[in-house]
Amino acid sequence: MKNSPAAFPRGQAVSVRLAASLVTRPVLRRALGWIVLGAGLAVFIAVQTAFIAGPVWNRPMLPEVDDSYAYLVKTAEMDECFFQDCPALQDLSKQLEIKSSDRDVEWQKYLLEGRIFVIYHPLFSALLLGVKHFVPDLATAYKIVWTAGPTLFGLGFAYWLLTLWGPGPTGIALILLAAKVFPGNGIHYVVPSNIAMSVALFVWARIISRKGDAPWSLMIGTVLMVGMHPLGRIFSAMAIAMALWFSGRPSLTRGVLPLLLSGAVVVLAFAAPAFIARPVLSVPPEPFGDGGTFISEFFKSVLTVLIEVVRFETPMFGSLTLFVGAAVFGYLAVEPAARTTLRRTLLVFAFFLMASLVYVLPAHPADVFFRLSIPFVIVLVGAVGMAIWHTMGQTVDLLARTGTTEGSCLRLSSGWPAVLFAMLAAFGIQMISYGTEGLEATAEYMKNRQPLFLEPEQPDILTSKAMPGNRVMYDNVDVIMPFYFVHGAMKFGAIYYPALKGTPEEQEWMDRSDLRFAVTYSPLVSLPGFQSDRQDQWWISSPEFRYSPLSRPRKTHQISKEGRILTSAIVYMEIRVNETSPRGPLRLLVHNPGDRAWVQGVVLGPDKRPVAGMDRRVDIPAHWSGWIDLGLKLFSEVESLRLDFPNTSRFSIGGLSFGEGALHWPWANKAKLTFMPRGPDVTPIEVKFDPADILPPQLERKNVTVLDDRGCSVLFEIAESK
């Protein structure tokens, strides 16, 4: 079957000829490339900033609270306790020296050293301290840096891609990248390693564009990368490798000497922990792996990479097969000289990516690989952008030739660039569409993971009541201890109980007369009905990618959030007191962001049946927060009180007390709350507000008072031993 010609009528031929002749002019085509680059950069920054702004600014605490406060506590140490000689860190240093055969205790010591002591991002901390001079606190400073992250990443990606592919392909690639998420930290978490990567992008691009002759960029960039994060050492090594390869025969002053100095900075970063005791600069080795051999751990890393590629295929690549095909076409479309530059760059990445799989972290397989892979994938997306740009240019040239004369025809045999451009453009739209779904899922994940709220006034209560020499016991090193340290608690002694539990020294530390305070999670945080009784599994662990074959809808849901009970997740709540009979009626602290709601309260007798005349329904106004009085009392320990919630309930309960009081929860009555979650195959969940159920057994014989229980933590005061 012969190709059917398509003829342009006279009017259309003139229009096509005029438009195509304009675009095919070299000056205008170059200008168009820069316009596309500017538009792509604007789209990338706008989309990525909007994507992260919600989770960063609309949560009561930063996303990934544990990691965020690990960064903030190191920053506070640099400002207040640079040599780690304040009372809290002196105490914790002694506790790290205690030996234990218990794996859980050794793991807690590993967490303690890594989250509190190891200083591995001094320049990032310096950046936060600089911003803090203009804002109230470190958390706000980090939010500002986080929000500025997409601009930094966008500029780095643009310069990196521009050096390798040119302006037009770079603009298209940035539009494709605007709707992308990456495995691990990705680029949606603005963390020290990603900022070091951004610096690396500028350094690499400068080295390549100068054919290896960029001594100042290399030396200054190495200092910045190494000071920002340990991964900066690898980025610097890659920069040195590129400078060597691209420079040919470097001169002594502009080539060899900068390379030697940059290499010396990297070596010094590795050697510094050997002769600097404080602050701690070396990342502690993991206390134990899974007992596997090096080969088995290596293959675990490889398997992890394959799993993540499958899981992220749709939101990141659209179709991996089409993505690879488009990238290969884009690579072949560039000039031979540019192809040589690309080949060398990709070979450097291939070497370091393979080496990262050999560097095995048992608890974090392929972590270094995923962090290194981001700029590598950026190059491949640039190749797709090149394929689209090249075929678009070929299509314009074809239209210019076809439309030069009246009645000229466009045949399929000569019109393949237009067909290929249409296919690649459609694939690009698919990448954006699927990537947008990935953005939405990731934004939801960032918003809902670790839904914690720690009351900022709680550490202020501690610092106002504690005396010099007092000690504070903590039961959590991921969030609570760093939060308190950031808010001034490093000037008091510290005991991390999970690192002492079961050791011969446990009794000595817990019996100290100067142990006057304790801070723990609220009983509502660790509700066992969500996923597990293990702390690392209390939270959702990954986004729900709708198009991924490895992603399944969650079957478990949290019934508490930010220290409040979600009534949408429970059918009823039963309250029973175990000691002193309440003196006042039941009061609830409610937060209702939605329409008008109600709660039904009823007193239950010893037989669990409703007591006649002892029930009440209370309406809750729309968009209202505050305490409501149900007017129901318990007159004996054998009675209980049940609260029923309608299916449409959307309000949350942030406190429950009998009568007026300073606390939000019924500690004085040692009340037990029983929740019945919604859904099939559920079992009741019990929570008890009794210090004896939360604090270590050594404190049971001491007089303990709850000072504050707002949010997700509880501050206890321990009476002085006599």
> Following DSSP, what letter does each residue of 147-175 receive, concatenated?
HHHHHHHHHHHHHHHHHHH-HHHHHHHHH
Residue bearing the bigger pLDDT, 117 or 536: 117
Token representation of residue 619: 């309406």
Of 686, 662, 660, 669, the closest CA to residue 634 belongs to 669
Residues 618-646 have a mean pLDDT of: 88
pLDDT band at residue 532 using 50, 70 and 90 as cut-offs: very low
* Residue ranges matching CATH 2.60.120 in the chain: 535-543+557-688
**pLDDT exceeds cutoff 70 at 252:** no
Mean pLDDT of the residues in the chain: 88
Residue pLDDT, tens place only, 408-438:
555 555 678 888 999 999 999 999 999 998 9
CB 643 within 8 A of CB 600: yes
pTM of the model: 0.91
- Across 562-566, 601-605, 707-711, the highest mean pLDDT is recorded for 707-711
Q: Can you give the pLDDT at residue 580? A: 65
Q: Can you give the pLDDT at residue 300? A: 84
CB 113 within 8 A of CB 96: yes
Half-sphere exposure in the Cβ direction for 461 (13 Å, CA): 17
pLDDT band at residue 1 using 50, 70 and 90 as cut-offs: very low
Count the helices and strands in the chain (H runs, E runs).
21, 18
pLDDT band at residue 578 using 50, 70 and 90 as cut-offs: confident
Least trusted range by pLDDT, from 122-126, 548-552, 680-684: 548-552
The letter for the amino acid at 695 is: L
| Residue % of the chain over a pLDDT of 90 | 64
Residues 657-685 have a mean pLDDT of: 88
Residues 101-125 have a mean pLDDT of: 93
Least trusted range by pLDDT, from 238-247, 450-459, 671-680: 671-680
pLDDT band at residue 510 using 50, 70 and 90 as cut-offs: very high
Q: Can you give the pLDDT at residue 400? A: 73
- The DSSP output letter for 585 is -
What is the per-residue burial (b if ≥16 Cβ within 10 Å, else e) of 113-145?
bbbbbbbbbbbbbebbeebbeeeeebbebbbbb
Q: Which residue has the tokens 């590598």?
A: 376
Number of Cβ atoms within 10 Å of the Cβ of 204: 28
Residues 548-557 have a mean pLDDT of: 65
Residue bearing the bigger pLDDT, 319 or 73: 73
Assign 292 to helix, strand or coil.
coil
Q: Can you give the pLDDT at residue 5? A: 47
Of 475, 509, 510, 468, the closest CA to residue 489 belongs to 468
Domain 535-543+557-688 bears CATH identifier 2.60.120: yes
**pLDDT exceeds cutoff 80 at 635:** no
Q: Can you give the pLDDT at residue 486? A: 98
Rounded CA gap, 215 and 257, in Å?
A: 9
Token representation of residue 140: 């706000």
pLDDT band at residue 184 using 50, 70 and 90 as cut-offs: confident
- The DSSP output letter for 536 is G
Whether the ω angle into residue 279 lies within 30 degrees of 0, i.e. cis, is yes
**pLDDT exceeds cutoff 70 at 529:** no
Q: Can you give the pLDDT at residue 579? A: 66
Residue pLDDT, tens place only, 459-488:
999 999 999 999 999 999 999 999 999 999
**pLDDT exceeds cutoff 60 at 3:** no
**pLDDT exceeds cutoff 90 at 315:** no
Q: Can you give the pLDDT at residue 533? A: 43
Q: Can you give the pLDDT at residue 95? A: 97
**pLDDT exceeds cutoff 50 at 538:** yes
**pLDDT exceeds cutoff 70 at 256:** yes
Residue pLDDT, tens place only, 327-364:
999 999 999 999 999 999 999 999 999 999 887 666 67
Of 406, 372, 390, 404, the closest CA to residue 329 belongs to 390
Q: Can you give the pLDDT at residue 681? A: 74
CB 589 within 8 A of CB 599: no
